[in-house]
Each structure stands twice: as structure tokens, then as C-alpha cells.
Amino acid sequence: MRFFDIRDRMLLAALLPVTLVAVLLSTVFLAGRYADLDEAHLQRARSLARQLASASEYGLFSANTGSLQTIAAGALREPDVRSVMILNTKGQALALAGASGLTALPVLGLQEQRWLEAASGLEIWVQPVSPSQLRLDDLFESATPVDRGEAPPLGHVVLEISRAAVVSRNHDMLAIGLAVTLGGLLFGGVLAVRIGRGVIQPILRVSDMIERIGHGELSVRGQVRSDDPLRDLQQGLNQMAEHLQQGRDKLEQRVAQATAELRSKKDEAETATRAKSRFLAAASHDLRQPIHALGMFVARLAQLPHDRETRHLISNLEASVRAMQDLLDALLDISRLDADAVRVQQQPVPLAPLLEQLRSALLPVAADKGLRLRVRNSELWVQSDPTLLHRILLNLVSNALRYTGHGGVLIGCRRSRGGSHLWIEVWDTGVGIPPEHQQDIFREFYQIGNPERDRSKGLGLGLNIVDRTARLLGHGLDLCSVPGRGTRFRVEVPLAPSGDLRAMLAAVETLPMDDVRGLCILVIEDDMHSAQALRGLLDSWGCVVAVVEGLQGALTLLHGGFTPDLLLSDFRLRAGESGMQTLQQLRTTLGRPLPACLMSGDTDPELIQSCRDAGLPLLHKPVRPAKLRTLIRRLARPQPV
């Protein structure tokens, strides 16, 4: 409901008393006039009935019906008289004038009687005709009057008279009263508006000014008039608006100054961030290059015959290189998750091969620590990304084995949500996680009880990758741990309809270990150590290898008759050349989509997306020899025609 504004309220305050007084006076006046009209009508009707009774006395006494008829007919000439009836003592009509609406004679008595018919609006008067009592002035009569008793009436006069005139005059008086009342209200309203305008206008000006100030228009000023009843208030508002405007101007200056300082700080921070990013990118690339070459050299070195002590040294060297590769791979996973560069491919996944793969990969790790690794196989299928789900479970089981000193680790499954989902659970009997650390362990590089940063206890990135990958897949992740007794991690995945596992396994081709022997591989690498390490590793696999530093050397080699089966190129080459463009140019020169692969120490998500758009596999340095060999096998398969 909308409330009245001040103008309406002022008008209401002025008109309400006037309206009440006018209505009260009109009501009193009309009530008095109605009473006067009714009294006048009553006196007139009574007087007329009595006159007729007095005039009819002689006619009734002498039974002169002609005289009585003349009297009755003469009464009809009076306004509102409908009928006149003169009756004798027996109730017989001696004279009748007018149209009587009576169906039965009223009860005749010695007193005057009056009836009112509301339906017809008629009044019926019955007036007895009494004989006159004449007193003779006789000297011989006693001075004291003698009561002879009330004489019986000679007859009755019945008069029917209409109240239409009274009702009509009442209506006229009501109309006049309403007209006078409305006129008074109209006059009072006009007068109230004209008088109240002098009060309302200043209030409206002040109200408008306050509203404009409330909307931030602080430059508004009200005109101060000498005859304004709100002059002091107007002056106060002007002063308040001026103070507010000055305060706002000062605040805007301070905000502008602070904004400029923040912008300067922001530019400095962005410059520092860009410099740091360039430094980290360059450092990452430069670090990956020698580690990549080192990994290749160590893999080639391990293939040569050595004595026991040398093999032990090489094993330690491999462990150190593997630790560096694990760190760089984990950092790569973090950066890809940060850049949203991981693409999810949801599909039905059988759990049996996945769990068996985990058991086969981690059983030697558990055996080295004297732990028992139990895997409860399941024939169920789930809806997930097989690669990302395997990475989640691998990190959870590896983490459980790392922090378990005795006992073992259990991998099992349990239905949830009424059978529509499945919990894949990893139980361990390790040290447990205190409640105050159960949220922090999912942060990057956060580890409990490893201040010396012992790499055997991990890097503190596994659980962060697990948490972020689970959220990326939309899988629930739950933790329950009791310090000193163990920990349970579980991942909730939706169930999928079971498929044909045998057909899936049969579709996966298994190639022999020497299937890369004899392949002609063209390596484009500008880093001498990486090129030498990669050539030595490929040579040990029986491949025919040619190494060049850029596009021009590759074109010269192709024109010389070398026909490669596979192209391996670094992304950054000499003189600003791009490995991606080099591979495209070589494919154009050969006239066929030759299998190719990029290797790079860059972890820029844009590079990952560009390789995906171009359909080129990308291996991030340091490249693991086993992963490289697997990729060469897959790329070297005969392409269907």
C-alpha cells in the first residue's frame, strides 16, 4: 500500500474537520426539517379530520346524506386527500368520496385513531363525530356544572391522506443538504489548498533537496527566502550539502591517490611476476634439458655390462634421476591443472585390469619395505577417465606405502548411494594423520614430520594432485585417519554398465620388445648432450638414427636419400626455429603425414593446446626411456589405408 505524501496529508488534515462539521450540521439540519415536515403533516391531517367531523355533526344528526356527500366531496379538494368516508353509528357509509383502498373497516371507537400503511404510504385517520354540548344560561340552574357523562358519537369520519408530498419534500431537503455539504467541502478544499500551498511548497522544496542529496547530487543548493517558514532548515541543509561535497572531494582525491599508488604497485608486481615467470620458464627448460640427457645416458649406461659395485652405483644414480623426474612430472601436473589444460575423457572403465595394474606396479615397493599389499578384485565397471583415475589411485597407494612402517595396505571397493556409486578405498596401518593436519595435507609441498625434506618421504605434491584431479572428474574424496593406527582414503565414482572385458583386452595389441628395431628415426635436436644421449639410447634399441640441428639439415638429409619412419624434434631449435613448424614443413616435403613427436622442456599450457590442435604428441623433458619407447611403438604401427 502506497502511503500519502505530505501534500495529501496536509490536504487531509485541512478537509477532515470541515467534512465532519459539514456532515454533522447537515445531519442535524435535515433531521430537524424532517421532524418539522412530519409534525406539520400530522397537524394538518388531524385538523382536517376534526373539521370534517365537526361539519358532519348536523348531517349525521338529521340523517341528511346529501349534505354529508357534499362535505365529503369538498374534502377531496384538499391536497393529498385520497378518500373520505362518513359512517353512522352502525358503521354504515352514508357518504363516500374518492377511491378508498380499504378492504375492511377499521375498529370504530370513542377516540381519535391513526394508522400508517408503509407499503402504500397512506395514513388513515378515524375521527368520531361527537354531539355538541350546549349549556343554557338559566337563572334557576345550579351554578355547579352537572356531569352528564360522555355522550356516544353520532358517527365516524374515515380520512385517507397520502404522505407522498412529505416524502418528496424530504428528498428535496436531502438533495439540498447534500448540495450544500458538497459545496462547503469544495469551498473548504479550495481554501485549504490555497492556504496550505504556502506551507507545503517549502516542505516539498526541502524534501526534493534531501532526495537529491541522498542520490549523491551534493552540488544542489536550495533558495533561502525571507518569507520561508523553513528558512533555518533550508540554510542548515545548504551547509550540510556543502560540507558533504567538500568531504567527498577530499575522499575522491585520496581514493585517486591510493588508486594511483596501487596501480603503480600492481604494475611493479606484474613486472616482477612476469620476470619471475620468464626466469622460472627458462630455469625449468634449462634444468630439464640436462636432466633429460642425464636420464638417457643413465638408461644407456645401465644396458652395458658392469661389475657389482658399478651396477650399485648406477642403481643409485637411476634412483636420483628418477627422483628428479618425479619432481618435474609432479610440477608439470600441477601447472597443467592450474592452467586447466587437462582434458577429461569419461568412459566406462573396468576395475579388474586397473587394480591388477596397481598391484603389479606397487607389489615390489611393498615387498622392499616388508609390507603386505592386498588388492580385492572387483568385476564392476565405473564411469571415469581411466588415465586420471589410475593416477589418483597410484598416488594414494604410493602415499600409503611410503608412510606405513609395518602391517600393510589394502585396496577394496564398497557400494554407496544405494548401489549407484562405488567407493574405491585405500587402507593402511601407517602413522595416521592428526585432525589438525587433515585439511593441510592437500596443499602443495605440505608434509608432516619431514622438515629435512627427505625425498624418500615424497615431495608433498601427491595428495594435492589427487584432490584437484578428483574435483576435476567430479569424484568425491574422503579421508578418515586415527593417529598411530592408520588412514583410509576413498574415492567415490559412479557405476557404469558392465562391458565385454575380453573384447577390450583383445583389442589391445601387445608388441614384442624388439618391435622398434630397424626403424629409421630422424632426430632434430640442437642441444649436443641431449642429441648424443638420445642417439645412444635409440642405437641400443636397434634403430637407424640420424641427428640434425634444424630444418635446413633435415631437408639436406632428406634430399640425400634418407627416408625416415619417424620424426622426433625438440620444440625450441636454433635461430628461433619452431619444432612444430619444422615437422609440418618436413611432412609437406615428404608429401605424406609421417609419424612425428615433439619433445620440449617448456610446460606452457598454450604449447600443450597447440600440439593438441595440430595432432602432435608432446613429451615433456626429461623423457623417461620406457615412455619414449612405448610412444615409438604406437606411432610406428602400420597406419590403416
Q: What is the pLDDT of residues 67-103, one digit of tens each?
A: 888 888 888 888 888 888 888 888 788 888 888 767 6
What pLDDT, on a 0 to 100 scale, did the predictor assign at position 146?
47
164-214 and 231-302 helices cross at what angle (nearest 10)?
A: 50
Q: Provide the pLDDT confidence category of residue 626 given band limits of 50, 70 and 90.
A: confident
DSSP 466-504: HHHHHHHHT-EEEEEEETTTEEEEEEEEEEE----HHHH
pLDDT at position 148 over 50: no
Closest CA to 524 of 475, 449, 579, 591: 579
305, containing H or E segment: none
According to DSSP, the β-strands at 618-620 and 347-350 are unpaired
pLDDT in tens, 240-271: 888 888 888 888 899 999 989 898 888 888 88
Q: Report how far residue 564's alpha carbon sits from residue 586's, in angstroms, rounded to the nearest whole number.
A: 11
> What cell was used for 156?
365516524
- Give the span between the Cα atoms of 527 and 323, in whole angstroms: 23
| C-alpha distance from residue 322 to each of 312, 330, 336, 398, 618 (Å) | 15, 12, 21, 15, 20
* Among candidate residues 551, 613, 600, the one with its CA nearest the CA of residue 571: 600
Q: What is the pLDDT of residue 557?
A: 87
Q: Are 466 and 478 in contact (CB under 8 A)?
A: no
Parallel/antiparallel/unpaired status of strands 486-496 and 476-482: antiparallel
Q: pLDDT tens-digit profile of 503-520?
A: 555 544 444 445 788 889
Considering the chain, what percentage of its residues have pLDDT values greater than 70?
A: 79
HSE (CB half, 13 Å, CA atoms) of 257?
6
Q: According to the model, what pLDDT value does residue 104 have?
A: 66
Between 371 and 280, the more confident residue is: 371
Q: What whole-number distance in Å separates Cα of residue 107 and Cα of residue 109?
A: 7
| Residue located via cell numbers 642429441 | 531
pLDDT band at 306 (very low <50, low <70, confident <90, very high): confident
pTM of the entire predicted model: 0.45
Cα–Cα distance between 570 and 618 in angstroms, integer? 10
Q: Would you tell me how many other CB atoms lie within 10 Å of the CB of residue 542?
A: 12
By mean pLDDT, which of 36-50, 338-352, 497-511, 563-577 is the weakest? 497-511
Task: Give the helix/strand (H/E) hosting 156.
Answer: strand 155-162
pLDDT at 419 over 90: no
pLDDT at 155: 87
The whole-number average pLDDT for the span 439-452 is 62
Q: Which amino acid is at 493?
A: V
DSSP letter (8 states) at residue 438 = T
| Burial grade of 626 (CB within 10 A; 0-12, 13-18, 19 or more) | exposed
State the Rg of the chain over Cα.
Answer: 60
Q: 426 — phi, psi (to 5°)?
A: -125, 110
b vs e for 266-294, b when ≥16 Cβ sit within 10 Å of the residue's Cβ? Answer: eeeeeeeeeeeeeeeeeebbebbbbbbbb
For 122-146, write each residue's pLDDT tens digit: 888 888 988 876 555 555 555 455 4
Q: What is the mean pLDDT of residues 559-570?
A: 88
Q: Which amino acid is at 292?
A: H
Q: Averaged over 324-352, what is the pLDDT?
A: 68
Q: How far are the Cα atoms of 75, 120, 161, 170 from residue 38, in angstroms, in the given order?
A: 21, 17, 13, 9
Q: Is 616 in a helix, a strand, or coil?
A: coil
Residue-averaged pLDDT of the chain: 79
Rounded to whole angstroms, the Cα distance separating 185 from 20 reads 10
DSSP for 523-580?
A: EE---HHHHHHHHHHHHHTT-EEEEESSHHHHHHHHHTT---SEEEEESB-GGG-BHH
Q: Whole-angstrom Cα distance, residue 129 to residue 139?
A: 31
For position 488, what pLDDT does the model report? 92
Residue type for position 564: P
What are 339-393's pLDDT values in tens digits?
555 677 888 999 988 898 888 888 888 888 899 999 998 889 999 988 888 888 9
pLDDT, average across residues 230-244:
80
Q: How far apart are CA 601 and CA 608, in angstroms?
A: 12
364-373, 545-554, 630-639: least confident range:
630-639
Contact in structure between 429 and 486 (CB atoms under 8 Å): yes
The answer to whether the beta carbons of residues 388 and 347 sit under 8 Å apart is no
